[in-house]
Structure formats: C-alpha cells, structure tokens
Amino acid sequence: MTIQFWTYMIVSLTFALYIGIAIFTRVRSTEGFYVAGHGVPAIANGMATGADWMSAASFISMAGLISFMGYTGSIYLLGWTGGYVLLALLLAPYLRKFGKYTVPDFVGDRYYSSIARLVAVFCAIFVSFTYVAGQMRGVGVVFSRFLEIDVNHGVVAGMVLVFIYAVLGGMKGITWTQVAQYVVLIVAFLIPAVAISYKITGNPIPQLGFGSTIKEGPNAGMFLLEALDAIHRDLGLPEYTGSFVAGKKTMIDVAAITLALMVGTAGLPHVIIRFYTTKNVRAARFSAFWALLFIAILYTTAPAVAAFARVNMVQSLHNVAFEDRPTWFANWEATGLIGWVDKNGDGIIQYGPGAAFAGPPRYVANADGTPARGVHGQRLVTNAPTADPNELFVDQDIMVLANPEIARLPAWVVGLVAAGGLAAALSTAAGLLLVISSAISHDLMRRTLMPRMNDRQELLCARIAAAVAVLFAGLLGIYPLGFVAQVVAYAFGLAASSFFPVIVMGIFSRRTTKEGAIAGMLSGILFTAGYIIYFKTINPSAGPAKWLFGISPEGIGAVGMLISFVVIIAVSAVTKAPPLHVQDAIADLRRPWFAKKPKDGEYEI
C-alpha cells in the first residue's frame, strides 16, 4: 500500500477521533468554554499542556532547524524547556490562585484598570495571531506533501477541523482533544526516531544513539557527531558542533534568542490558561510536573532526530546524478519545498555553502498544471540562482516529515508522522484561537464594553469570535511569514516583551501601578514588533551589521523585555501607589497558608 493510502487512512482516523471527542465534550456554559469547568485531572491536563505546548514548531521545525544550525540550534531546546520550567515554578501557581479566566483578566483586576485590560487584550490577540501563523503553515506543509493537495487547500482543511472542535467544545473539548493529540504526536515522533537510531547506530534509544558510533557505511566506526563534523568540513560548511564560528550565530544573538524564548514561554497566554483548568492550585502544580515530563520525551529526542536526518540527507543527495535521485526527493520536489538548479551543467547535485536560489524555488507549470522540467530533469525556476556553489534548496521544515522516507522506513510510518505533525499544529492552533476568542468575548465585551451581557450571550460571542479568528488564522497560513519555528520565535519575543514583565511585577511587587503596567506593555511590544516588522518586511535585506547590538529579530524580545521592566519600574515609582485592597490581594496571593495577615494600614497608600 502506498504512502498516500496510509496517510489518508491514519489522518482520517485521527480526525474522526478529534471530532468525536469535540461532540462528546461540547459545552453549554462560559466556564466550560473558557476553563473546562475547572475539572481536568492533573495528568490529563499535563498531556493537554504538552500537546498545546509542542506545536508545529516543536514537532516539525525544531529538529529541522537544529539539523541545519547544528550546535546553535540548541537555543530552541534551551529556551523553550527552560521557559516552561520558569512558567511552572514562578508564575503558574500564583496565577491559578488568583482565579481569573484569562491573562487580560488578571492584568485588568491586578492593575485596577479597564485600560490595562484593553492593552492586555491587544497584546494577547497580537501574540496569538503571530503564533498561530506558524501552526497553519505547518498544516499546509503536511497536507501539500502527504495528501498531495494544494497548500492553500490543506490550510482550509485544517481550519475546518479546528473550527469544529474549538467552537463546539471550547476549552473542555480542546483539552480532551489535546490529550488524544499528544498520544498521536509523541508516538509519531518516537517510532521513526527509534527505527532510524537502530538503523544508523545499532542503538534503539535515540538519546543514546545520538552519542554512539555509526555501524556501517563510509563513516562506520566514527561517532555520529564526529562524522557530521567531517561531512561539514568536506562540504565547506561550519562544523556541526562548532559554536560562535564564522557562518553561525554570534554569542550575543544566541543568548538573546534563548532568553527571549525562555521568558516568552512564561508569558504565552495559551499555556498560562491551561493552569486554570485544574481543580485547585495543588492539581495545577502536579499538572506542571506531568507536562514537563511529557514535553521532555520529545525535546530530548529532537537533537538525535536532527543529526540522523542531516546525515541521511547529505549522503543520499550530494554528488548524486539527478537522474539517480532517490524517490523521496522526487516526492518532495513537487511541493516546492526542495529544489535543484544545475549551475555547472553536469547533471550532478552539488550541496555546499550558500543559497541555491535567490529565494525558495518556484516552478513553472505545464498546461496541465504539472511542474515543467528542463535539462537533466531539472525543475525550471523563476527565481534566479545565486553565485554560490550550492545547487540544492531544502526547506528546513521538511526534515522531520521527510526523515522516514529518507531512511526508507515503511509507508505506514510516513503516514503516522504526517498525522503527528497535524496533531501538533492543530492542538496549539486550537489553544491559541481560544485565547483570542476569550480575549474578545470575556475581556473586551463582557468585562469592558457590555458588562450587562449574560452567560448565554457571552458564549455566543465567544463562538463567533473563534470562528472569525479561524478565518484570519487561515489567511496567515496561506501567506506565511517564514519558517514555522522562526514565526513562532517572533511570537515568543512579543510575549516576552509584553506579558512576562507585567505578570512578574504584578505578582511580586505590590508597588507596581496601573500606569507603569500600561506603559511597560505598550513600550515592550511596540519596540519588539517594530523591530521585527522593519527587518522582516520593510528592509529584509539588512543583515547582522544593521541589527541592534548584533541581535536578530528572533532575539530582540529580550531587549524589549528589559525596556518593559525599566518602564514599569520607572513609571510606578513616580505614580500613586495601588489601592490598599490591591496591595492586600497581592500579598495574600504569595502568603503561605500558615502566615498571618498584616493589619490594616501596613501598606503604603
């Protein structure tokens, strides 16, 4: 049976499962729609958090980025895992104890201001839409290859599925759907990793195979990473394990991106809201533990998957005649995510430093819609080739999805990986869309513009907002901003510069005022967004020499965070202290159960 048959069958079964869960768990109350009625067990919430957290960036793109970046690709591992620990230990228990549905709800009540709430709503929507753009692109990548349909049609199919279980089931439906999606994505990630690890190194445990020797082939007897370094040297590329060398990111950029990803994690509204779905604070803490365990399973496997994919990709393509190219190359070539241009006219695929094209390859279509072919079977491209010797374009987002085909695993494994990629992308997209929906219906409408709205009207408004958000998210998937993980990194930078400072100061500083919070959120997100927009859209040709302190757009959120903290502290110092009841509430938020409450008048008024 073909790859397409297995993919259709496995994806159809998983989609039917998700829709069935959504119908079975559909909600009829706002509490069920927003926080699943506070009734999710800790271990189930941990699995749902893992699925919510491990987006298309984690499943599809992270290993691909590490595969191309080598050592410096560890910024995504360090930033995302470290950020989750920061969130689970520093913020989540206090936010859960505060008892509000959403992050804007916390900001509005903590800072006793409807304006602060509105600014938080704006930040939540902006961050979530930036993040969801990466998820919808991941959906399009999977559909375009494995179901052999147009990328845009693939995005539409994903939109329909998310619409059904996000709008119908709300947080309750999303939570139990995400439990199923975690099982699908982790099984899909581990099975090929185990098989390829055993095939290359003889060790079935990928984390150990990553540090083992290659058992056969031209590099037999060499350690895997040692062989990768040798392959890179032969190709004229920086060593895979090299750090801060020519052709790789600088130390300050690596530090900035890692910090931005870490604190951005702790400020992401769709992850924070998961801690409101448990029964109590104790359950929230346990769910954080379970989530970290479930996340670690994938994150400790990703570096091995990246190395295996890199070795297999180079060895199967470099110095190979195009007519003898492997089947997987021809399959992926039709998607436009991999391409070859014969710069020297010898018909041999040459891989090396530099870019093959002046951008991703674009293929000329024949009258029947199939891609046109030129000499040596080479695809004709509208983008001119560059002067670099490299003849091969590979989109980083295909490495995990193509890995089973490159390693010649059975067709059912390829179909399973496709289902896993869709599960990862759709689970996070659903969580983000719920954040957008709740920010509009609960924080904007009921808490600000229409306070007399009843529960039934609010639930209807939430579903309408979710439907509109799904449509807009689909447009972002059709017109993507970059690689999945790159787009997600921008969202983390925006969250780092807006939500993280205002949440930390709101929990740990009674003296922080509403004026400081508003000024801090706006200054942080406007600086970060402006920097990203300038270097990614207005002046994309500007290189590292033009970056502030040599920090890339992916890492500028770290600077935006510092700006936000400085503004919050400075403005709070010159404005009137919060009311006594607010100071008392924040002190009580962090007070152990056995501590005595202070007497009236002990706080500055």
Separation between Cα atoms, residue 20 and residue 491, nearest integer Å = 31
Q: What is the pLDDT of residue 597?
A: 58
- The tens digit of pLDDT for each residue in 532-585 reads 888 877 887 777 888 988 898 888 999 999 999 999 999 999 999 999 988 888
Q: What is the pLDDT of residue 236?
A: 87
Phi, psi values for residue 270, rounded to 5°:
-75, -20
Alpha carbon distances (Å) from 189 to 147, 313, 531: 19, 18, 35
CA 514 to chain centre: 31
Residue 32 has pLDDT above 80, yes or no: no
User: Which of 285, 248, 358, 228 has its CA nearest to residue 97?
Assistant: 285
**Lowest-confidence range among 238-252, 377-391, 566-580?**
377-391
- The tens digit of pLDDT for each residue in 80-97 reads 888 888 877 778 778 777
Q: What is the mean pLDDT of residues 357-375?
A: 64
Does residue 92 contact residue 292 with C-beta atoms inside 8 Å?
no
Does residue 379 contact residue 373 with C-beta atoms inside 8 Å?
yes
Residue 366 has pLDDT above 70, yes or no: no
pTM of the model: 0.80
- Helix or strand run (H / E) with residue 547: none
Q: Give, as one character, the DSSP assignment of residue 73.
A: G
Q: What is the pLDDT of residue 476?
A: 73
Cα angle: 262, vertex 268, 270; to 5 degrees: 140
Residue 587 has pLDDT above 90, yes or no: no
Q: What is the pLDDT of residue 602?
A: 52
- The tens digit of pLDDT for each residue in 109-156 reads 899 888 988 888 888 888 777 777 767 767 776 776 666 666 677 778
Residue 520 has pLDDT above 90, yes or no: yes
Q: What is the pLDDT of residue 388?
A: 86
DSSP states along 377-439: GPBPBSSPB-SSS--EEE-GGGHHHHHHHHTT--HHHHHHHHHHHHHHHHHHHHHHHHHHHHI
The tokens for 552 are 């890339």
Q: What is the pLDDT of residue 370?
A: 58
Question: pLDDT class for 363, splitting at 50, 70, 90?
Answer: low
Q: What is the mean pLDDT of residues 247-272?
A: 83
Residue 250, CB-side half-sphere exposure with 13 Å CA sphere: 12
345: which residues sit within 8 A by CB, 6+ positions away? 375
DSSP helix/strand/coil, 365: strand
CA 182 to chain centre: 15
Q: What is the pLDDT of residue 604?
A: 47
2: alpha, beta or left, given left = phi > 0 and alpha = psi -120 to 50? beta
Question: pLDDT class for 168, splitting at 50, 70, 90?
Answer: low
Residue 253 has pLDDT above 50, yes or no: yes
Residue 592 has pLDDT above 70, yes or no: no
Q: What is the pLDDT of residue 605?
A: 42
**Lowest-confidence range among 352-356, 379-383, 536-540, 587-591?**
379-383
38: alpha, beta or left, given left = phi > 0 and alpha = psi -120 to 50? left
Q: What is the mean pLDDT of residues 305-316?
A: 90
**Lowest-confidence range among 127-136, 240-249, 494-503?**
127-136
Report the share of the chain in percent with pLDDT over 70.
86
Alpha carbon distances (Å) from 268 to 53, 86, 90, 432, 593: 10, 12, 14, 9, 28
Q: What is the pLDDT of residue 170?
A: 65
Separation between Cα atoms, residue 167 and residue 470, nearest integer Å = 9
Average per-residue pLDDT for the chain: 81
